[in-house]
Amino acid sequence: MTTAQRPANPAADPRTTAELIERYRETRSFTERMCDPMEIEDYVIQSMPDVSPTKWHLAHTTWFFETFILSNNYPHYQPLNRQYNYLFNSYYNAIGEQFCRPRRGQISRPTVKEVYEYRHYVDEKMVDLIQRLDSDGALDSIRHTIILGINHEQQHQELMATDIKHVLSMNPLRPTLYARPADTQPTGVPALEWLRYEAGLYETGYNGPEFHFDNEGKRHKEYVESFEIASRLVTNGEFMKFIDDGGYSRPDLWLSLGWATVQQHSLKEHEWEKFDKPLYWFRTDDGWMQYTLAGPRPVHPDEPVVHVSYYEADAFSRWSGVRLPSEAEWEIASADAEITGGNFSDNMSFQPRPLPLTAQPGRLHQMFGDVWEWTNSAYNAYPGFKPWEGAAGEYNGKFMANQIVLRGGSCATPQNHIRSSYRNFFPADAKWQFMGFRMARDAS
């Protein structure tokens, strides 16, 4: 049996009380720093049912700390507004009723100012509670829940970036939110290499002492046939060739539901809704352009393709004569990659970047950061999976149907949030998240 030695995330869980408070404050502060370039009008728009307004994200992440920690542990805690429990609950039925998700953009009150006041009220109480429990020797009783809340907020930081991008893309002015990194001229990318992994019984999943979500365990054995995985991600330039070759008009390349989605969306009026290119791409007389959080810019052929659905990733792989990796194959291969140095949200660019021509050959590149990578694995429970007790058990387990697993994090993921065992999941037709892919194939 082979045990993959997966890379540890260099940003380990906070050990001391001071580190815990610092991690809490850093996370909460980064969320608000992401909002610095926004105008008040940007905070409240909901451009589709899957998108939540920025104001809602700011409040919901605060609600999480209030509901799961303060309400049960802070002496005589008084909520700032009891109706927030209804407005900002997402899907926790054990907590109570929730405001209708597709109508979150209709919540004009509380105001943005009041939501920030809510955040700072809860922050003050959270830091005070951590210090109180530490002095009483009782902090360990809620340490895991605090770290869960921090990781939960980091997930919403990524959702904030993806959601505001969709919101602003609907504006004909195509506004700029973040500063654009220096444009680079196309120079090409290293030739794609196929790296081989031998058949064997592997252990996958997480079983370490650091924080991880319940769906990452239990660690278990899985037999995998010999396979090869691409050394890098599929690029925009390669995806353009798929489009130019009529990839979106060939039903033989598509899963049945994927082809039905292509046909259904061909009738859509809005440019973004058509299923004939990656999301946010649009044609001009000068060629392909794309909307980014730094405004519109030409599609860079060397950048990893992003905002494509599972159906598109699968169709491209079929067109290429190969397939997508399973999540077990991806995790096994990730043992040979490093988390550090990847393109994450920490640099506030929110755009995949090209793999340099100088990248070392014979190695896996861009496994972490840049784009979430589609696998061909359905999101199911691992053997021995047990959801967390109580309302927190609704966090992952109840979504184990009609979802596909993605791995590796993206340019909108904080670096200290990701692990090789991290399992993201979305429906097969989703495109608005920072989604891309690399290919795999059976080894001969």
Query: What's the CATH number where 280 sits?
Result: 3.90.1580.10
Quickly state the pLDDT bin for 274 (edges 50, 70, 90): confident
Beta-bridge mates of residue 221:
203
Its domain, for residue 245, covers 194-442
Reference 96, options 133, 71, 128; nearest CA is: 71
The reply to whether 267 and 198 lie within a common domain is yes
Task: Kindly state the percentage of the chain with pLDDT values over 70.
Answer: 96
Reading the block at residue 136, the tokens are 């009483």
pLDDT classification of 1: cutoffs 50, 70, 90: low
| Domain shared by 165 and 256, yes or no | no
**Residue 355 and residue 211 share a domain:** yes
Same domain, 243 and 338: yes
- 178, part of any domain: no
Same domain, yes or no, for 243 and 120?
no
pLDDT digits (tens, 9 = 90+) for 301-312: 999 999 999 999
C-beta separation of 335 from 364 below 8 A: no
Q: How far apart are CA 34 and CA 258, in angstroms?
A: 34
Q: Identify whether the C-beta of residue 428 lies closer than 8 Å to the C-beta of residue 310.
A: yes
Give CB contacts under 8 A, 24+ apart, made by 184-187: 184/300, 184/302, 184/354, 186/237, 186/300, 186/301, 186/302, 187/302, 187/354, 187/357
Residue 225 corresponds to which tokens in the numbers above? 């046939």
Q: What b/e sequence results for 264-303 when a residue is b if at least 16 CB atoms lie within 10 Å of its CB, and e otherwise?
A: eeeeeeeebebbebbbbbbeeeeebbbbbbbeeeebbbbb
Instruction: Evaluate if residue 223 carries a pLDDT over 50.
Output: yes
Model pLDDT, residue 324: 98
Does a structural domain hold residue 174? no
The confidence score (pLDDT) of residue 361 equals 96
* 436: DSSP letter: E
Pairing of strands 200-204, 2-3: parallel
**Tokens representing 269?**
């009026």
More confident site: 196 or 398 = 196
- What is the number of structural domains in the chain? 2
Q: Judge if 333 and 214 occupy the same domain.
A: yes
Using the 3D structure, point to which of 169, 202, 218 is the last residue of a domain.
169
Task: Say whether both 258 and 402 belong to one domain.
Answer: yes
Do 57 and 101 belong to one domain? yes
| Count of Cβ atoms closer than 10 Å to residue 330 Cβ | 25
Same structural domain for residues 122 and 21? yes
User: Cis peptide before 110, with omega less than 30 degrees from 0?
Assistant: yes
Residue 188 phi, psi (nearest 5): 90, 170
Statement: residue 10 has pLDDT above 70: no
pLDDT bracket for residue 5 (50, 70, 90): very low
Residue 90 has pLDDT above 80, yes or no: yes
Is residue 245 located within the same domain as residue 118?
no
pLDDT 10s digits, 27-77: 999 999 999 999 999 999 999 999 999 999 999 999 999 999 999 999 999
* Domain assignment of residue 42, yes or no: yes
By CB atoms closer than 10 A (0-12, 13-18, 19+), residue 175 is: middle
- For the residues of 275-310, what is the DSSP string, one character each? SSSSTTEEEETTEEEEEETTEEEEPPTTSBP-S--H
* Residue 253 is assigned to a structural domain of this protein: yes
Polymer length in residues for the chain: 444
Q: Are 116 and 33 in contact (CB under 8 A)?
A: no
Structural domain includes residue 97: yes
Q: Comparing C-alpha atoms, which of 295, 310, 314, 175 is closest to residue 242?
A: 314
**241 in any annotated domain:** yes
Tell me which of 136, 169, 202 is where a domain ends.
Answer: 169
Shared domain check, 234 and 149: no
**117 or 268, which is more confident:** 117
Calculate what percentage of the chain has a pLDDT beyond 90. 86
Task: Report if residue 328 sits inside a domain.
Answer: yes
Q: Are residues 272 and 390 in the same domain?
A: yes
Residue 2 pLDDT more than 80? no
**What is the distance between the alpha carbons of residues 117 and 383, in angstroms, rounded to a whole number?**
44
β-sheet with 440-442: strand ranges across: 194-197, 227-230, 440-442
Q: What is the pTM of this model?
A: 0.95
Does residue 259 lie within any of the structural domains? yes
Cis amide prior to 218 (ω within 30 degrees)? yes
Identity of the amino acid at 89: N
* φ/ψ (deg, to 5) at 71: -65, -25
Joined together, the tokens standing for residue 202 give: 């592997």
Q: What is the pLDDT of residues 116-175, one digit of tens each?
A: 999 999 999 999 999 999 999 999 999 999 999 999 999 999 999 999 999 999 999 999
